[in-house]
Amino acid sequence: MSGLGKRLMILGAGRHQVPLIQTAIDLGVEAHVCSIAGDYPGLALATYFHEVDISNSQAILELARTIKPHGILTTATDVCLESIGLVVDEMNLPGSGFATTSSCLSKVRMKRKLVASGVPTAQYRVISDANDGIEFFNNHRGDCVIKPSDSSGSRGVNKIHDVEDVKPAFESALKFSRRGEVLIEEWLEGEEFGAQAIVEHGECKLLVLHSDITTPPPRRIPVGHGCPHPNEEELIGTVRNIVIDAIASLGINNTISNIDFILTEDGPKIIELTCRMGGTRLPEVCGTYWGVDFYALSIHLALGEKINLPPIPTGKANAAHNLIVSRQGTFLSMDQINDEFSHEIYFDIGERLVLNSAQQIEMGYIQLIREDPSSILEDLTNEANRLTSSVRLGEE
């Protein structure tokens, strides 16, 4: 593993791409950061900055033809996946090609491929109006969920308990779908968890399971993660087989793949997967447990370099939790964070906090690292709740 002197395109310069950009620089990689102009923290870090809309595949391809990178990647965002796939194909780079990246962006295409390969996933139907949804719901025993095919961050995803819920849920999903594509699925009962799969030359070299902390239904949003997963030992065999099939069915390659599961009575089933690392501090959480730097790994994979992994975890049990508030205003104060937690707070006192499209403000995150994993999730969640409820915001 070296990376030294190689050219790497990193798409995105937001908060979640900052550690990726910093790691590339630390590795001595010639990091070409691509983003629209704006108040993005990654811009200041970049030695080579290219002002471009990363969701514009053709613009990214044209730029790539001038940079001639050895690799291209992102983390924690989906908006640029098609651009990455196009560049990987056209410039013959390591990584996942266009057919793969576009399937990861469309739940309809993704589920078609998963089902065709016999990968366990929720039963579904593409619906073009509320009546299609009502028909599916009435023919299905139990709750369902309606979601846009191509969105993220749980936007427009709503649980359906009653037939009356279908119409508003369809409309909400449609609003968040770029292509106007909506699907209804059976609601899978069970605990939500996830995995990061390190895929090198089409092979799953390491699978790291993690637990998820989500907001309660009807709209479940992942807000935190812990590693190791408390039932890793009994789950890993089954999950590994599912992941191998899922990766092969979508053609995910030379990347770290983020995979979401529900542990149902019939075993684990995939909610969705993608050809990049997860957000919500998953690289930090899984990397802290395995004792490896996930950002560095993903860079080496994108550059087509051989990676070295320890055979067993060499780090510590830990979990991270986002600090999320659903109000806006001027940031006045927040309680002191307990010393045991490492943390990052994205805003300064006096800054104006504005709700995002999911009607939230992500204020930062806290992470708890301990030898004994038993009460990490509980203590972390309590601290996160204590901190977010202590946030005082000034009037608009």
Ligand X SMILES: Nc1ncnc2c1ncn2[C@@H]1O[C@H](COP(=O)(O)OP(=O)(O)O)[C@@H](O)[C@H]1O
188 is a site residue for ligand X (CB under 6 A): yes
187 is a site residue for ligand X (CB under 6 A): yes
Q: Which of 157, 160, 166, 368 binds ligand X (CB under 6 A)?
A: 157
The residues facing 345 across adjacent strands are 364
3-state secondary structure at position 138:
helix
Q: Smallest distance, Å, CB 200 to ligand X?
A: 26
Q: Which residue is nearest to ligand X (CB)?
A: 220
342 is a site residue for ligand X (CB under 6 A): no
Burial code (b: 16+ CB inside 10 Å, e: under 16) for 209-224 equals bbbbbeeeeebbbbbb
Q: Smallest distance, Å, CB 151 to ligand X?
A: 5
Q: Which of 41, 153, 304, 315 binds ligand X (CB under 6 A)?
A: 153
271 is a site residue for ligand X (CB under 6 A): yes
DSSP single-letter state for residue 215:
P
Per DSSP, the residues of 170-182 read HHHHHHH-SS--E
Binding window for ligand X (CB under 6 A); candidates: 151-159, 166-174, 243-251, 295-303: 151-159
191 is a site residue for ligand X (CB under 6 A): no
Nearest to 391 by CA among 344, 337, 311: 337
Binding window for ligand X (CB under 6 A); candidates: 86-94, 180-188, 304-312, 313-321: 180-188
Q: Which of 22, 55, 56, 214 binds ligand X (CB under 6 A)?
A: 214
Q: Which of 29, 60, 81, 122 binds ligand X (CB under 6 A)?
A: 122
154 is a site residue for ligand X (CB under 6 A): yes
264 is a site residue for ligand X (CB under 6 A): no
111 is a site residue for ligand X (CB under 6 A): no
Q: Smallest distance, Å, CB 272 to ligand X?
A: 5
For the chain, the helix, strand and coil percentages under 3-state DSSP, each to the nearest 5? 30, 30, 40
Binding window for ligand X (CB under 6 A); candidates: 41-49, 147-155, 242-250, 299-307: 147-155
The residues facing 367 across adjacent strands are 320, 342
91 or 319: whose CB is closer to ligand X? 319
272 is a site residue for ligand X (CB under 6 A): yes
280 is a site residue for ligand X (CB under 6 A): no
Q: Smallest distance, Å, CB 73 to ligand X?
A: 20
145 is a site residue for ligand X (CB under 6 A): yes
338 is a site residue for ligand X (CB under 6 A): no
Q: Which of 109, 167, 205, 220 binds ligand X (CB under 6 A)?
A: 220
125 is a site residue for ligand X (CB under 6 A): no
50 or 147: whose CB is closer to ligand X? 147
Positions that interact with ligand X (CB under 6 A): 122, 145, 147, 151-155, 157, 185, 187-188, 192, 214, 220, 222, 260, 262, 271-272
